[in-house]
Amino acid sequence: MAAPLLRRLGRFTALALDEIDAVRDLISRRKRWRPGTTLFAEGRSAAPQFLLSGWACSQRVLRDGRRQIFDFVLPGEGFGSGSAVDGQARQTVVALTSVETVDAGAFIDAAREASPHGLWRAIRATEKEEDARRLEHMVRLGRLMAHEKVAHFILEMQRRSGADNAASFALPLTQETISDALGVSVVHLNRVLRQLRSENLVHLRGGVAFVGNAKGLAAATVLPPPPSG
């Protein structure tokens, strides 16, 4: 149960035994929510949490129903800490599948006071990673074409799923959800997916992504940074 969380934090530091225990201890206080539940509402005061299992997304909904998804929250990742003004959160977090969450406020405070290295360092690192992802997402939204967006997105998800370079990985998202993340209509996304499938680049089916040709996908993406340093 603690595996996803430990795996993510462990990527940045070797965790001490008592830190691992602290994480295990968190698990007992977890809560379960059904898909569609609002885990964290925009305008409420910030409340950092960990997502132990399932998928969620951070988003904003416009008056007329249009939706922009800012980021996805994968098992073991945190949410609810960033981008608040006057203590007011600026984004809503919604469960996409059945999920389990646990409050991380006290845990994070303890980590910060314990040591600037170790756990605290790992938590900071995941936040920085989130920041960097946001920049990529902005480039994707503003400057990539639909097929580039999709290719780029699939590769990001492959990497984040931990299944580096694996031929298939879990991607429990509907096309509607993906389209709201990429800023494209569902219908158009569907057509782009058909195209990519026919070229044997990716194949989405039943919540699983099959990558037929990772190199080809990367080629379909215009990698962000220029060659020059």
What is the binding site for DNA (CB under 7 A)? 145-147, 174-176, 183-188, 190-194, 204, 206
Would you give the binding string for a second copy spanning residues 12-51, x where CB under 8 A is met? -----------------------------xxx--------
How many residues bind a second copy (CB under 8 A)? The answer is 40
Minimal distance in Å, beta carbon 220 to DNA? 12
Query: Which of a second copy, DNA, none does 61 bind, CB closer than 5 to 8 A by kind?
Result: a second copy
Give the pair of three-digit tokens for residue 17.
Answer: 């035994």
Query: Which of a second copy, DNA, none does 188 bind, CB closer than 5 to 8 A by kind?
Result: DNA
C-alpha torsion angle, residues 58, 62, 67, 72 (rounded to 10): -10
Minimal distance in Å, beta carbon 79 to DNA? 21
Instruction: Please report whether residue 11 would count as binding a second copy according to CB under 8 A.
Output: no
C-alpha count within 13 angstroms, C-beta hemisphere, residue 164: 0
Instruction: Please report whether residue 63 would count as binding a second copy according to CB under 8 A.
Output: yes
State the CB neighbour count (10 A cutoff) for residue 131: 11
Minimal distance in Å, beta carbon 109 to a second copy? 13
Q: Which is nearer to a second copy, 76 or 152 (CB)?
A: 152
Q: Find out whether 50 and 77 touch, Cβ atoms under 8 Å.
A: yes
Q: Which is nearer to a second copy, 113 or 198 (CB)?
A: 113
Query: Which of a second copy, DNA, none does 193 bind, CB closer than 5 to 8 A by kind?
Result: DNA
Minimal distance in Å, beta carbon 35 to DNA? 9
Query: Which of DNA, a second copy, none does 84 bind, CB closer than 5 to 8 A by kind?
Result: a second copy
C-alpha 147/C-alpha 22 separation (Å) is 44
- CB environment 144-174: b (16+ within 10 A), e (fewer): bebbbbbbbbbbbbbebbeeeeeebbbbebe
Instruction: Please report whether residue 218 would count as binding a second copy according to CB under 8 A.
Output: no
Minimal distance in Å, beta carbon 228 to a second copy? 9
C-alpha 72/C-alpha 129 separation (Å) is 13
